[in-house]
Structure 1
Amino acid sequence: MSTPVLFDSAAGQDQSEALLAQVQEAIAKRQPLRIAGSGSKAFYGRPIAAHLPVLDVTGHRGIVSYDPTELIITARAGTTLQELNATLDKGGQMLACEAPAFGPHATVGGMVATGLSGPRRPWAGSVRDFVLGTRLISGLGTHLRFGGEVMKNVAGYDISRLLTGSLGCLGVITEASFKVLPKPRCSISVQQAIPVERALARLREWGQQPLPISAAAHDGQTFYLRFEGNEGSVRAAHDRIGGELMDAAYWGALREQQLPFFEQVHDRRALWRLSVPSWAEPLAIEGDQLIDWGGAQRWLRSDASAQTIRTVAEQAGGHACCFSPAATQSPLHPLTPAILRLHLNLKAKIDPQGIFNPGRMFADF
């Protein structure tokens, strides 16, 4: 096994002891805390009471180690995604889930806490799939380590993956290790002017074939595809499927919600994200739709009620989350009573006093 490259420049940015002390003080006072990073994804989830003391993790930053040979990188929670991606780029590698930043100062901790992934997610995996290990300050006032810098984790339940998408409600993520992948040798993006029904039918057909598709979207008029891999397979896929070559910057704009569909500043309709099976037919609901993830993620701008939208999502076999701040009191899809009990039991074990981000996910959580 190779020796990972240690980043000594990050040593002076380790604020874990100060963060632990602040949490221990809050526990002693039974004082809830609002965990804060850059705020790039503060819109996601329910608002936290503004009067709560802030636990700022942005100063706890830096790449801890990077081992290109073993395909592993470890970074502190306050490290920006820009720094993480720049480091990987120098090694010809990437975090394949294409996590959105939603701002220049987005952090590693925020990426793990929200668990949001980009266009490559159905073909490469989600943020959760690439988390190998984490360090966490719990509601018991202890600094814990879960998983580690290994490619396999079989010793019991994978807590690190559980923390992914928990919105900071289970504790303060101070560090995370990720599996990374080599960047593709060849990438081609194409577009075709075909109806959405035809695009979805093609994706269902192609899903049974070894095509190097790494992104697929449809905006109601145009079908967008990206092929990635070795040059031979990518060129062969393009020759077979066809399509007009297009600027690959489209995928970054889709990931960062910078397309006109998302940037309609005068559009008062709420923005919803519906996660459904990729084979689901176009959703019969009022509003404008943009399809991502090869059909598995449907963006919707609509005036329809939250109940109506969630019912449509459930009937399609999925769920819906609202991305518009203050558009609904319950931005995340409500849990069933049985699943909610599991969440509450877990919260009681890791954060018994309810110190971290109270109500961020759900009112009772």
Structure 2
Amino acid sequence: MISLADKLKQLPQDSGVYLMKDKKGTIIYVGKAKNLKNRVSSYFQNSNQHTYKTRALVGEICDFDLMLVQNEVEALLLERTLIRHHMPRFNILLRDDKEYPFLRICYEDPWPRIQKVRRRKEDGAHYIGPFSSSSRLNVLLRQVYKIFPLIRCSPHEFKTAKRPCNYYHMKMCLGPCTLPVDRKYYVSLLKDAESLLEGNVSKLRRVLEGRMKAAAKAENYELAAQLRDQIQAIDHISQQQVAILDSTVDADVIGVFSAGDKRSFNVTMVRNKAMLGGDHFIVESSAGTPSEEMTSFILQYYANKQVPSQVLLRDIGEIEPELASVIAQNQDWAVTIRNAKKGEESDLLDISEKNAMHQLEQQENQKNQQQLGLQLLQETLNLPRWPERIE
């Protein structure tokens, strides 16, 4: 078998993905490079400049495989696929099995409705989301149903209904299951609800105000009153936003905090100039550079999510420009990954990094409390060591 030293001498200068293996042949690290010869060789040079994790990786490498590709986009996609398949222990790994909910509206249905689903499909329907919190989404939906009299029942219940349900009598549904309702009017209400769910509050408010004035001018005072109530309810929802921003419209702001061999990532979501909360992940550090760690995080985080038009970082470093097109390949708008600008964007990044630090400190405090509890239990019961399992 060809030795590791000989394989290093024969490395090509092509783009591709490399898979590091230990003495058992287990893949322990996956990386990508524009120039495989330069990147793979760098692991075995200037070891004093390597991080502890990189030195530990190099100490276990007994072999490696290469997979050549035609361009950087293919390399990024292949790297993400291989990391998710092999779960190498020296890579950044997001052990995140959450499936963020979407809202689905199919306007081709005879009577379309809002449906909460776990996966986005290419079925011609309109999808809103994903939403990072299922509980917050349920609260939002309850508010939407209070404002707009939309169908809530299942298709089966709708089809088999003999008379309008209680929601009709509470004026929270038009009762199209059994009553003659203008479909165009119903669809217009559904589109208004869609605008609200997507955060287009200002535009929706202007539209409703125009309709209210037109209804009042036509002396349709009942409709004008309904529209007035909708506007007031929308204003109430708007006041509950966490923060309203001046210029940052749609963006994910990614902050990272490092402590020892831990990396804490926080993604602060901004949609339609409003902060909508965020996600956080604490992972083991990898054997890669900071740019490689951030690239790996972004590839995994956006694997099944819609990406906003901007992703803001503290330091884009050596992140490849092709990364933006890779994570945006299944959506209709372009994505830009860039450094946060001074001012509002920098303030948002400070918030994200502060949250990343808080989450890591919180985890460490919880771990310390558990250890103190176990130590106290050991001393109380005169155990030779801390208990590993309590039944």
TM value normalised by structure 2: 0.24
More strand by share: 1
TM value normalised by structure 1: 0.25
Q: Which has the larger radius of gyration?
A: 2
More relative contact order, 1 or 2 (CA 8 Å, 6+ apart):
1
